[in-house]
Each structure stands twice: as structure tokens, then as C-alpha cells.
Amino acid sequence: MLISKNDVLDLDEKIKFFNHLYDSKKQFSRGLHLKIEDNYDREVEREIGGGQNTLLTVQYFLEHKKLSWRILFYPKRDESLKPIKDSYFFTVVTGGGFDVSNNFKLDEDFKEEEFQRFSDAKNDVINKIIKTYEKFPA
């Protein structure tokens, strides 16, 4: 799977940048969290019937709700539906906003978008972080 360490570091740097903006304004209830899945996480998800294809999850905590974006991977398949070795596509799943005040999951925010390269999926998540920050600045 072709994922550049620099792509992951770029995403991590953007998250740290926005967290610094919130911290500098003493808004500690807001911020972002990056979780990179490992083989143990995927095994747990497989056992409980969840999605074992998650590479990473970004959660954006606002005062009134929590947003999440997950980047998943799936093997590309040939005409006979056999997986093509070392060939994947990526999906960004925008999770519904989780309303903090009444624990209600807002399903209208759910969306899936497909990308041929990890870097494109990563850039999509970064753009969503920026748009969210512009809507809810520190």
C-alpha cells in the first residue's frame, strides 16, 4: 500500500496547528484528535463486526458537537473480482455530527467519498478541517 509517511506527518502537523490555535485562546474543550489504527485495532474491529479497513480517524471536538472523518482502504479488483496485489483505493467517511448537549447523532452529516490515492484522501480531510475551523473559529 502506497502511503507516504510525509502525508501522515502533514496531517498531524495541520492538526497540531489548529489545536495550538484553540489552546492559545484557552478553549480547551475544542480541538482535534488523530488516531492511527494498527493491526490490534483492526483485529478488535473485526471481532466486534466493525470496519477493519480504517487507516486513521480524525475527530474534531467543538463545544456543541463532535465531527469525525475516517480514511479507509479497500483493494482494487480486476475484471474477475480478484484483488489486485498492492493496489488500493481510499474512502473518506464523514461521520454524522455528534451533538454533545443531548447525545444525538446527526445522520444528515454522513457522507462517503472515494479517492484513488491516499494523498488525495488526506487533502480532503485537511480541507474539511479548514472549512470547519472557518465556520467555528477559536
For the chain, the domain total comes to 1
For position 52, what pLDDT does the model report?
Answer: 75
Which residues lie across from 89 on neighbouring strands? 74
Task: Please count the other Cβ atoms lying within 10 Å of the Cβ belonging to residue 56.
Answer: 20
* Residue from 21, 98, 102 nearest 65 by CA: 98
Residue range 73-129, pLDDT digits in tens: 999 999 999 999 989 999 999 876 555 555 555 555 678 999 999 999 999 999 999
pLDDT in tens, 36-57: 888 888 788 778 876 778 899 9
48's grid cell: 466486534
pLDDT in tens, 8-47: 999 999 999 999 988 888 776 788 999 988 888 878 877 8
CB-neighbour burial class of residue 43 (10 A; exposed 0-12, middle 13-18, buried 19+): exposed
pLDDT at position 18: 92
Question: What range defines the domain where residue 35 resides?
Answer: 5-135
